[in-house]
Amino acid sequence: MKKISILGATGSIGTQTLDVIKNDKENFELSAISANSNYKKVINIIDEFNPKLVSMVDLKAYDMVKNYCKENNKSTVVLNGVESLVDVATFDDADIVVTSVVGMVGLVPTLKAIEKGKDIALANKETLVVGGDIVTKAAELTKVKLLPVDSEHGAIFQCMQGNHLKDISKIILTASGGPFRNKKREDLIDIKPNDALKHPKWQMGRKISIDSATLMNKGLEVIEAHFLFNMNYDNIQVVVHPESVIHSMIEYNDGSIIAQLASTDMRLPIQYAINYPERKKAVIDKLDFYALKSLSFEKPDMETFKCLKLCYEAGKKGGNMTAILNGANEVAVDLFLNNKISFLQIEEIIERCLNKFEYKSTVDLDTILDTDKKVRKYVFDLYK
């Protein structure tokens, strides 16, 4: 029986993780969860899964869940505040932590979980984007597994099984192209948030949907792949694949390419990560090759979608540049969703921050957190 903690249980990945657990209750037990403010979903989770520990970041939501547990004689312990994410991540009665919170907030809880010896099912890509060096070194020191949940990295991980890193010549990350594939810059001038939220293939949260529209999400995945698989940036290629059937590929030294194909359902990479190294009965619809009309591939347009280009540049430079990149993007996406900036201003803000802040080649956790704080304040002050 594997005991699981979920950081971000009410979001897209968290909800689908619960679905995987529900389909295999003989082998999984939900030990602890965190959520921001969706107390109604959390109450439903408590009723169905009876976790021992719950963290609610929002104070009003905490009060609602706490009162519900008291009035209904629930044994679940309820905590409040961002700092209680660490309690969920390091909960003694958990073997593996699914990190599915959105953004930089996942870094510290993930590090604490690693220090406690918990295996990590990683869906929070920003953890590696901003702190890849310290996270991977901590995992190596404690012999903790970093198991990728992103569909692309889960695909790469599966394609690597039984092979050696030294035999890999290239990682090929596939991208749907987002809702504005084949658009030019003039077509993006008047884009509104509702337009950018309409992803053609995946049902995702608001922040990651905007990142997919700007191709920032694919850029963050490039940085994540660099750290997860110890691969040079020049050997990580992005290929636009609109059908989203091939989730990623690996090219080996002899020219052989191994690809992982499946339907567009995040429950598969979640299921594989939390069951690793075993495979269990399918929780997704299997592919029907007779129904597949074609598989197509395109080169990404990094002049129209500059965020992808900026990610490669920041990743190659390293140090605190990826923390600058990520902090600027998180604030810019929030500003765009609140109609305070235009779609194309997202990349402008990121580039401005990358050029403004001092480059530091060596970073620790304090440097990362300080950099993130300064970048956020700078961008917020520009548009307050």
Instruction: Give the pLDDT band of residue 251 (cuts 50, 70, 90).
Output: very high
- Whether residues 110 and 174 share a domain: the answer is no
The enclosing H or E element of 18 equals: helix 12-22
Which of 109, 144, 179 terminates a domain? The answer is 144
CATH number at residue 365: 1.10.1740.10
Is residue 293's pLDDT more than 90?
Answer: no
Which tens digit of pLDDT belongs to each residue from 191-203?
A: 999 999 988 777 7
Q: How far apart are CA 74 and CA 272, in angstroms?
A: 32
- As a whole number, mean pLDDT of residues 84-108 equals 96
Report the pLDDT value the prediction gives residue 201, as an integer from 0 to 100. Answer: 75
- Whether residues 137 and 171 share a domain: the answer is no
Secondary structure of 259-321 in HEC code, one letter for each residue: EEECCCCCHHHHHHHHHCCCCCCCCCCCCCCCCCCCCCCECCCCCCCHHHHHHHHHHHHCCCH
- Whether residues 125 and 204 share a domain: the answer is no
- Whether residues 174 and 243 share a domain: the answer is yes
Beta bridge partners of 244: none
Structure tokens belonging to residue 5: 């903690």
- As a whole number, mean pLDDT of residues 31-47 equals 98
Position of tokens 């963290």? 55
Q: Containing domain of residue 205, as a range?
A: 151-264+295-304
Q: How far apart are CA 324 and CA 356, in angstroms?
A: 10
% of the chain with per-residue pLDDT over 90: 96
Residues for the chain: how many in total? 384
In terms of pLDDT, which residue wins out, 64 or 203?
64
Report the pLDDT value the prediction gives residue 117, as an integer from 0 to 100. Answer: 97
Q: Is there a domain that residue 60 lies in? A: yes
Report the pLDDT value the prediction gives residue 204, as an integer from 0 to 100. Answer: 80
Q: What is the DSSP letter of 230?
A: T
Q: Is there a domain that residue 275 lies in? A: no
> What integer best gives the mean pLDDT of the chain?
96
User: Beta-strand (E) ranges in the chain?
Assistant: 2-7, 28-35, 53-56, 77-80, 96-99, 119-122, 146-148, 168-175, 236-240, 246-252, 257-261
Instruction: Give the pLDDT band of residue 4 (cuts 50, 70, 90).
Output: very high
Nearest of 160, 164, 105, 116 to residue 138 by alpha carbon: 116
- Whether residues 10 and 140 share a domain: the answer is yes
- Whether residues 118 and 230 share a domain: the answer is no
Q: How far apart are CA 348 and CA 354, in angstroms?
A: 10
CATH number at residue 72: 3.40.50.720
Contact 104, 330 (CB under 8 A): yes
Q: How far apart are CA 285 and CA 310, in angstroms?
A: 36
Is residue 26's pLDDT more than 80?
Answer: yes
Q: Structure pTM?
A: 0.95
- Whether residues 103 and 188 share a domain: the answer is no
Which tens digit of pLDDT belongs to each residue from 295-349?
A: 999 999 999 999 999 999 999 999 999 999 999 999 999 999 999 999 999 999 9
Domain count of the fold of the chain = 3
Q: Is there a domain that residue 311 lies in? A: no
- As a whole number, mean pLDDT of residues 125-135 equals 96
Report the pLDDT value the prediction gives residue 384, as an integer from 0 to 100. Answer: 78
Contact 229, 223 (CB under 8 A): no
Is residue 369's pLDDT more than 80?
Answer: yes
- Whether residues 162 and 207 share a domain: the answer is yes
Report the pLDDT value the prediction gives residue 94, as an integer from 0 to 100. Answer: 97
Check the CA dihedral 84-144-27-277 and report its sign.
Answer: positive
Which of 144, 160, 191 terminates a domain? The answer is 144
Q: How far apart are CA 164 and CA 252, in angstroms?
A: 10
Q: How far apart are CA 204 and CA 181, in angstroms?
A: 18
Longest C-alpha distance within the chain, in Å? 65
Report the pLDDT value the prediction gives residue 203, as an integer from 0 to 100. Answer: 72
